Amino acid sequence: MKGYNRNGRKQQDLSEAFNWAYDASYDPEAVEKSQPSISIWPSDLPGFKEELYTYHTQLLQFARRLTRIFALALHMPEDHFDEYVKHPEAGMRIIHYPQQEAAAVDQNGIGAHTDFECFTMVTQDGNDGLEVLNKSGYWIKAKPVADAFVVNIADCFMRQTNDFFVSTVHRVINKSGRERYSLPFFFGFDRSKKLEAVPSCVSTGNPMKYPVMTSGEYYHYRATNAKAGSS
């Protein structure tokens, strides 16, 4: 397990997480099953990897369906994003948040941030902690709802939709009095594909606000900034 600090606050962010990546061999719709995965798995936890990929695969298939719904919402053909999600970025984490004693100005479970990819589906346990920033600048609790996910728009989708979809700024502060666990699933486009504007989101009066780059270049840029403590 690995503790980390995303945003260089005064004290370490309290959470610890196990992270893993997309693995084509667990993707029923993979075009190229033999592509290697970058994840590192513990060798002494029988069934751990298989259990987690069982859930990951369900979310992967659901996320592909959601991108079709997003395409329709953008007045594009249903299959507009299909080419982008054949070999998606689909990392996942299990996060553990101890109960926090310090004030939110000094410490968070995870500090305020936006996610890098297109959208994130968060499975939460029954404990409060996740908060989202609304347009008026107030933190709103995203209270756990049984059998439901929180879906947060992330930065690649904001870029590609020219700010029509806006990334959700969010943070976690666990003052629930209990330990909290969550499983975010980060769904993004194929690293080799360009983040070009969705045609329905640009016009002569509303030109593309962002320079075009591939998803891979964008993930690299964000990950480098996060390591430097500026994200």
Position 115 contacts ligand AKG (CB under 6 A) = yes
Position 124 contacts ligand AKG (CB under 6 A) = yes
Q: How far apart are CA 173 and CA 105, in angstroms?
A: 10
Q: Which of residues 173-212 bind ligand AKG (CB under 6 A)?
A: 182, 184
Residue of 56, 64, 87, 170 that binds ligand AKG (CB under 6 A): 170
Binding site for Fe ion (CB under 5 A): 115
Position 128 contacts ligand AKG (CB under 6 A) = no
Position 95 contacts ligand AKG (CB under 6 A) = yes
130, interface contact from Fe ion, ligand AKG, none, CB < 5-8 Å by kind: ligand AKG
Q: Residue with the closest Cβ to Fe ion?
A: 115
User: In terms of C-beta distances under 8 Å and separation of at least 24 residues, what long-range contacts does 97-104 make, across chains too?
Assistant: 97/14, 97/15, 97/129, 97/172, 97/174, 97/179, 97/180, 97/181, 97/182, 98/14, 98/174, 98/179, 99/174, 99/175, 99/176, 99/177, 99/178, 99/179, 100/14, 100/173, 100/174, 100/175, 102/11, 104/173
Q: Which of residues 12-71 bind ligand AKG (CB under 6 A)?
A: none
In whole angstroms, how close is the CB of 33 to ligand AKG at the nearest point?
Answer: 28
Number of residues that bind ligand AKG (CB under 6 A): 11
Position 122 contacts ligand AKG (CB under 6 A) = yes
Q: How far is CA 99 from CA 30, 103, 124, 126, 173, in A?
A: 40, 12, 15, 14, 8
- Report the Cα 178 to chain-centroid distance in Å: 24
Binding site for ligand AKG (CB under 6 A): 93, 95, 110, 115, 122, 124, 130, 170, 172, 182, 184
